Amino acid sequence: MADRTPLAISPAVELFVTGLSHRTAPTALRDRLVPDEGAGAELLLRALTQAGIGQALVLATCDRIEVVGADAASAAAAETALSQLARRGGLAPSALRPHAYLRTGPDALRHLFEVAASLDSVVIGEPEILGQLKAAHRLAVEAGCVGPELEGGLRRAYGAAKRVRTETALAEQSVSLVAVAIKLARQIHGDLAETGVLLIGLGELGGAIARALQVQGLRRLWLATTAPARGALLAHELGARALTIGELASALDHADIVLAAQSAAAPVLGAAELRAALARRRRRPMLLIDLGVPGDIAPEVDGLEDVFLYALDDLERISAGGRAGRAQAAAAARAILEEELQRLTREGAARDAAPALVALRRHFEQARAEILASAAGLDADAATRLLINRLLHEPSTALKALAADAAAHGPQERRRIERTLLKLFGIERRYGAAGPHEDAGEDKGSDAQS
């Protein structure tokens, strides 16, 4: 069930998000902006604080680099955050704007929900993004960059993501893709203990398949990336040997399985280098799994002998449920997110109305206290009539003024206000649009005077 705690959003503060993702910017540009783990992210948070943004977190994955925050001037804060990202990469903000997104208010909250639920990932349903978001959240808390507005938005995003995981089959789709990759590896190479695997890029699905292969007995793993610092960290986590993209050719000699998860603007592997590697491998077969969006392996590679090439579309087609199942699960997930967002909107409207309701109650209580103080000796009937007249005096005067000032308030506006008044006190619901019938005991001698 989603988090039901109140979403602490001050009327003066709203959420914002800005950054670049796999949908908007090439990998090379995103890599320039992504901070190194730990210290690099802390430095970026410090820069955001010094720039006047009090609430922010930095979410940096292979799919995206973005700042999520909350500020009274949300649009201006988002622009400032984008400028800080540009400075991080040694670029002018104008270089990022064609590739960046900037969202505020409800649009920012919807984006945060979609990211947490893995609906905005390269591989929809992959489970890593939620953990990455929570890690970014913890780092921001430690840096003192999370206030009640940002905290409330994140908590609601986690609750919505939990509903998606438990009420839809979206997460199962990602697990199914990993299972297909393992099955293909076993069909082609049998015992995986003696195989060598080359992982290209930092894509989450590639890392998930590599980990699953290790569970199946894999002992030799190489990781080649265009981001050396982040690549070294992931290589340490996986127990892999870290390589640069320039070392791919030599690594192919030992790679029985290649997992391409770079999502580069152009293929990182072509037919020529694979043909040469096959010759050096003495035609030992290679399983190539292209997880890139767009593809990381040139299509003509599929024509080479002793090469078994599978793209992400192929895995989806083979997996249980396939693409149709993934689309159905994604649609169900989006419906859940919209339901959560609409509920938040209703709750926000109720919070906005609370001050007026408090003022109305205090006004009624004050009138009651005044009548009790001035109606000594009156019986209950007379006292309550006096109270009713006191409470109706101001509304009666206002309605008469509206009717008299026809130039400023036309008949449609007057009727709208009258209908609102009837709804506020439940008169229309209880008695219908005509109101209650005239009561014989009604005080006809009063014009609602106090």
CATH number at residue 116: 3.30.460.30
pLDDT band for position 164 (cuts 50, 70, 90): very high
- Could you tell me if 153 and 296 lie in one domain? no
Give the pairing type, strands 241-244 and 307-311.
Answer: unpaired
Residue 177 is assigned to a structural domain of this protein:
no
The 3 state secondary structure assigned to 276-292 is HHHHHCCCCCEEEEECC
Domain boundary, last residue among 294, 319, 344: 319
Residue 146 three-state SS: coil
Same domain, yes or no: 371 and 298: no
Q: Quick one: 106 and 214 in the same domain?
A: no
- Give how far the C-alpha of residue 38 lies from the chain's centroid of Cα atoms, to the nearest Å: 22
pLDDT band at 19 (very low <50, low <70, confident <90, very high): very high
| Average pLDDT of span 399-418 | 72
In sequence order, the β-bridge partners of residue 102 are 18
Q: What's the pLDDT tens digit per position in 238-287? A: 999 999 888 888 899 899 999 998 877 788 899 998 999 999 988 789 99
Asked, for residue 34, whether it belongs to a domain, the answer is yes
Of 106, 133, 167, the residue that ends a domain is 167
Say if residue 413's pLDDT is above 90. Answer: no
Find the largest Cα–Cα distance for the chain: 112
* Range in 232-236, 340-344, 410-414 with the lowest mean pLDDT: 410-414
pLDDT at res. 38: 56
pLDDT at 434: 65
Residues 275 and 363 grouped into a single domain: no
Q: What is the pLDDT of residue 148?
A: 92
Q: How confident is the model at residue 52 (pLDDT cuts 50, 70, 90)?
A: very high
CA distances from 390 to 363, 395, 418, 445 (A): 11, 10, 19, 14
172 belongs to a structural domain: no
Q: Which of 22-36, 48-62, 347-361 has the lowest mean pLDDT?
A: 347-361
Does residue 4 form part of some domain? no
223 and 123 co-located in one domain: no
Going by DSSP bridges, is the β-strand pair 307-311/286-290 parallel, antiparallel, or unpaired? parallel
Cβ neighbours for 427, distance < 8 A, ≥ 6 positions apart: 421, 435, 436
| 289 plus 424 within the same structural domain | no
277 and 158 part of one domain? no
> CA quadruple 385, 391, 392, 397: dihedral positive or negative?
positive
Do 156 and 203 sit in the same domain of this protein? no
Tens of pLDDT, residues 8-18: 445 588 999 99
> Does residue 140 sit in the same domain as residue 231?
no
Residue indicated by tokens 């195989």 = 195
> Are 253 and 148 found together in one domain?
no
Residues 150 and 290 placed together within one structural domain of the fold: no
Residue 23 belongs to a domain: yes
In the block, which residue shows the tokens 């949908």?
23
What CATH number did the domain enclosing 279 receive? 3.40.50.720
Q: Which domain holds residue 140?
A: 14-167
Residue 253 lies in a domain: yes
Residues annotated as catalytic are: 62
Task: Kindly state whether residues 162 and 208 are assigned to the same domain.
Answer: no
How many domains is the chain built from?
3
Residue 5 has a pLDDT of 47
Q: Is the peptide bond before 294 cis (omega within 30 degrees of 0)?
A: yes
- Distance between CA atoms of 22 and 296, rounded to whole angstroms? 14
For residue 443, tell me if it sits in a domain: no
Q: What's residue 161's pLDDT? A: 93
Q: Examine residue 436 and state whether it is found in any structural domain, yes or no.
A: no
**Residues 39, 105: Cα–Cα separation, whole Å:** 30
